[in-house]
């Protein structure tokens, strides 16, 4: 009995203290188990099972929980492995499909869309000298019209880039080009400034989606070793857009007789013909895109496996038939799908918000995710933000500087007539670049002539007759007009006469408003400057295309930017029109390769689900920099060269140095 009681006391003591004493030797634990089982009762059965190797129920539960955690971890790891293998498998499929007829056909179609973007950047600047007379534009109106084109392109880049990751690359590009075509066509016939600026804004919103969607779309049909080279060749079409715009402007706008009019309310002059011709590349791209398929990489991201497989088979068969191997079979039978991920967006529930609200929340959330991505992407944003501040700013500064130098030369040759007296004289020749002070004109006739940049100050006109007179920048200031008749002229009381005394003066059939002067010749040099500037980027494009996959993206971008930064210092030597033209070509040639590298590396840095959105945000940032730089540089024309040079040099040097901090993507598979 004592032994039994003592055994029970030992059991109780061990039961209480065992969980906290883990340093017992194994042999002692076995001896203790034998002692315990020797005289136990029914109440102590669970502990007997424990010492006989039967797990405790709590341990069983914990083991099950651990097994579930391990299973979940293995599932996640398997999903990650599967997701990581999709880009590898897609790259293998594209290598099997080869590079051939299909890619070159798509290259041409998307190149036309990129060409339309290049044309859009030049349309307004070429049409503006004639449009300002046709629509009575002030300097403020002209400046607003030029800036709104870039505003529209900025909005379009962000909008269509975001939609391309949700609706598809081809679908969004179709919508964007269709909007550009519609608004461009309507702008040709807009007679008022308000409608014209609205239609050009809509046209810019449409074409703004071409760059981010085109590069994303084309990159997803290219294998890794072809990607850098062929995306660089695609940039040639932007150059062709500039050449097309300048060449057609040169050939159409000076031919004023190509237009027509319907009364005084509807005018369709040659500059409108030019605007109409400029939307033809967009029409051609839209027609070709109808026959192109959607990106299979996008279809795989949206779980449309069968459609993606059919398109990849089409690419394979098209290329190998063109290479003379129609019997070659598409070997892919199964494509691993990406693991479905939880939606990262904060959605507004359908019963509490509209479709537009849900779209805005989704789109803005994605934009924030793109901006807040890793450090290398932040550098990309900085990198793509800085060059346009110089490229677009100097691109606008060069022709404006030429115009300013022309104006200075023109003003230096002004003829001044002081206190001249002309009686009974018939003026039948052009009056140009003259100032007449305190003159007297009595019984004179001004018939069927043109008066350009002429100013009459404190002069007397008595018994004079003006008929069919066309004027440009001509004014009468503090003059006296007696018994004078103006018939069918654009000299009318409220427009050309400043603080003048009109005594018995008659205005018959005045041409009120702004009427185009059909005898005025546009400055051919401006068209030539734009043509040469667009052509000068050809060497940079060729160098980028040949070396992009050989020396890498970073060396192309950094070297080109630092080289073009050095070119900006030569702008201090620009004292003549032809010096400006020469250094413009030098700068554009040096900076073209950087643009190609930026487009390529932007495509390669982002995953397929966010690629177009990220490109759209960065391209929108680019257009914002263009707006700021164009406005800033335009304000200092004729004042100083230091501000454009310092801003351009700083932007290019910073961009060139930051380029070397980016990850090299030359041998990286598209994620």
Full DSSP string of 163-206: HHHHH-HHHHHHHHHHHHHHHHHHHTT--SHHHHHHHHHHHHHH
Q: How confident is the model at residue 461 (pLDDT cuts 50, 70, 90)?
A: very high
Q: Where are the domains of the chain?
A: 415-508
Q: Which residues pair with 423 in a beta bridge?
A: 442
Q: Who's near 8: CB < 8 A, 6+ residues apart?
A: 39
Token duo for residue 384: 């793509």
**Angle, to 10 degrees, between the axis of helix 375-412 and the axis of helix 553-568?**
30
Asked if residue 345 lies in contact with residue 136, where contact means CB atoms within 8 angstroms, the answer is: no
Q: Which residue has the higher pLDDT, 148 or 280?
A: 280
Q: Please, which pLDDT band fits residue 399 given cuts at 50, 70 and 90?
A: confident
- Segment 135-177, tens digit of pLDDT: 777 667 777 777 888 888 889 888 888 888 888 889 999 999 9
**Lowest-confidence segment of 24-28, 99-103, 270-274, 528-532 by average pLDDT:** 24-28
Sign of CA dihedral 87, 93, 96, 97: negative
Judging by DSSP bridges, how do beta strands 450-457 and 431-437 pair with one another? parallel
Distance CA 515, CA 521 (A): 15
Which pLDDT band, with edges at 50, 70 and 90, does 387 fall under?
low
Residues 6+ apart with CB under 8 A from 298: 165, 168, 169, 220, 608
Please indicate whether residue 547 or residue 181 has the higher confidence score (pLDDT). 181
Instruction: Look at residue 542 and tell me whether its pLDDT is greater than 90.
Output: no
Residue 299 backbone dihedrals phi, psi, to 5 degrees: -65, -35
| DSSP secondary structure string for all residues of 355-367 | HHHHHHHHHHHHH
Residue-wise pLDDT tens digits, 90-112: 777 888 888 888 989 999 999 99
Residue 247 neighbours by CB under 8 Å, 6+ apart: 531
Picking from 645, 618, 615, 616, the residue whose alpha carbon sits closest to that of residue 632 is 645
CA 498 to chain centroid, in Å, comes to 46
- Top pLDDT among 541 and 214 is at 214
Bridge-based pairing of strands 497-498 and 431-437 is unpaired
Q: Looking at residue 174, what is its pLDDT?
A: 93
Nearest to 599 by CA among 669, 667, 665, 671: 665
With respect to CATH, is domain 415-508 assigned 1.25.40.10? no
Would you say 305 and 335 are in contact if contact means Cβ atoms under 8 Å apart? yes
CA 446 to chain centre: 52
3-class DSSP string for 402-426: HHHHHHHHHHHCCEEEECCEEECCE
Measured CA to CA, the distance from residue 425 to residue 555 in angstroms comes to 71
Site of tokens 């609706």: 167
**Measuring CA to CA, which residue among 450, 441, 444, 494 is closest to residue 468?**
450
Beta sheet of 501-503, edge-to-edge order = 421-423, 440-442, 460-462, 480-482, 501-503
Percentage of the chain exceeding pLDDT 70: 72
C-alpha torsion angle, residues 315, 316, 317, 318 (rounded to 10): 40
Residue that wins the pLDDT comparison between 654 and 37 = 654
Closest CA to 459 of 422, 488, 409: 422
Of 338, 315, 289, 235, nearest in space to 603 by CA: 235
Per-residue confidence at 39, pLDDT binned at 50, 70, 90? Answer: very low
Confidence of residue 586 (pLDDT cuts 50, 70, 90): confident
pLDDT at 42 over 50: no
Give tens-digit pLDDT for 407-448. 777 777 888 999 899 999 999 888 888 999 999 999 999 998
What confidence score (pLDDT) does residue 339 get?
Answer: 52
Give the chain's mean pLDDT: 76
CA distance 652 to 637: 21
The predicted structure's pLDDT at residue 514: 56
The two three-digit tokens of residue 246, written as one number:
């300048």
Check whether 544 has a pLDDT greater than 70: yes
pLDDT at position 334 = 66
- Which pLDDT belongs to residue 288? 92
């Amino acid at each position: 009995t004592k032994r039994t009681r003592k055994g029970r006391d030992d059991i109780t003591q061990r039961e209480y203290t065992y969980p906290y004493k883990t340093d017992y030797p194994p042999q002692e634990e076995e001896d203790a188990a034998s002692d315990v089982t020797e005289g136990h009762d029914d109440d102590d059965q669970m502990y007997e099972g424990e010492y006989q190797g039967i797990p405790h129920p709590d341990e069983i539960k914990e083991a099950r929980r651990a097994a579930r955690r391990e299973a979940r971890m293995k599932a996640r790891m398997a999903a990650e492995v599967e997701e990581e293998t999709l880009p590898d498998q897609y790259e293998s499929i594209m290598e099997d499909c080869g590079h051939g007829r299909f890619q070159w056909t798509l290259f041409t179609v998307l190149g036309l869309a990129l060409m339309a973007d290049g044309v859009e950047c030049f349309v307004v600047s070429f049409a503006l000298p004639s449009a300002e007379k046709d629509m009575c534009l002030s300097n403020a109106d002209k400046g607003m019209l030029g800036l709104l084109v870039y505003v529209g392109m900025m909005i379009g880049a962000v909008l269509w880039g975001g939609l391309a990751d949700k609706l598809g690359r081809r679908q969004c590009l179709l919508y964007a080009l269709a909007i550009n075509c519609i608004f461009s066509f309507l702008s040709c016939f807009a007679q008022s400034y308000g409608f014209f600026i609205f239609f050009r804004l809509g046209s810019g919103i449409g074409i703004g989606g071409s760059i981010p969607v085109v590069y994303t779309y084309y990159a997803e049909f290219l294998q890794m070793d072809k990607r850098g080279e062929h995306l660089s060749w695609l940039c040639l079409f932007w150059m062709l857009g500039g050449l097309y715009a300048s060449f057609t402007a040169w050939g159409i706008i000076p031919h004023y007789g190509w237009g027509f009019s319907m009364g005084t309310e509807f005018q369709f002059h040659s500059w409108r013909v030019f605007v109409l011709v400029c939307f033809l590349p967009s029409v051609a791209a839209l027609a070709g895109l109808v026959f192109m398929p959607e990106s299979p990489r996008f279809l795989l991201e949206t779980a449309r496996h069968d459609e993606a497989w059919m398109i990849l088979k089409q690419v394979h068969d098209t290329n190998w038939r063109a290479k003379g191997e129609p019997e070659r079979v598409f070997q892919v039978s199964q494509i691993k799908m990406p693991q479905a991920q939880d939606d990262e967006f904060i959605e507004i529930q359908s019963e509490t918000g509209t479709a537009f609200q849900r779209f805005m929340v989704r789109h803005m959330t994605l934009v924030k995710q793109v901006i807040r991505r890793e450090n290398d992407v932040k550098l990309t944003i900085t990198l793509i933000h800085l060059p346009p501040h110089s490229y677009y700013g100097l691109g606008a500064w060069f022709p404006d500087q030429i115009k300013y130098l022309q104006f200075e030369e023109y003003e230096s040759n002004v003829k001044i007539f002081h206190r001249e007296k002309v009686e009974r004289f018939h003026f039948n020749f052009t009056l140009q670049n003259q100032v007449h002070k305190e003159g007297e004109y009595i019984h004179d006739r001004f018939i069927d002539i043109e008066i350009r940049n002429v100013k009459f100050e404190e002069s007397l006109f008595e018994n004079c007759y003006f008929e069919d007179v066309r004027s440009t920048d001509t004014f009468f200031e503090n003059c006296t007009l007696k018994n004078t008749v103006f018939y069918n002229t654009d000299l009318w009381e409220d427009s050309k006469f400043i603080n003048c005394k009109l005594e018995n003066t008659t205005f018959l059939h005045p041409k009120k408003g702004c009427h185009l002067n059909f005898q005025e010749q546009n400055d051919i040099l401006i068209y030539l400057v734009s043509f040469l500037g667009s052509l000068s980027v050809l060497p940079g494009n060729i160098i980028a295309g040949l070396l992009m996959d050989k020396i890498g993206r970073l060396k192309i971008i950094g070297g080109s930017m630092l080289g073009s930064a050095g070119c900006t210092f030569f702008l201090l030597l620009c004292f003549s029109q032809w010096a400006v033209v020469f250094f413009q070509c030098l700068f554009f040639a040096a900076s073209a390769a950087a643009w190609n590298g930026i487009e390529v590396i932007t495509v390669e840095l982002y995953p397929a689900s966010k690629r177009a959105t990220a490109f759209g945000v960065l391209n929108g940032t680019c257009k914002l920099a263009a707006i700021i730089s164009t406005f800033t540089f335009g304000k200092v024309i004729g004042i100083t060269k230091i501000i454009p040079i310092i801003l351009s040099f700083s932007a290019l040097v910073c961009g060139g140095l930051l380029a070397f901090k980016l990850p090299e993507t030359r041998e990286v598979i598209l994620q």
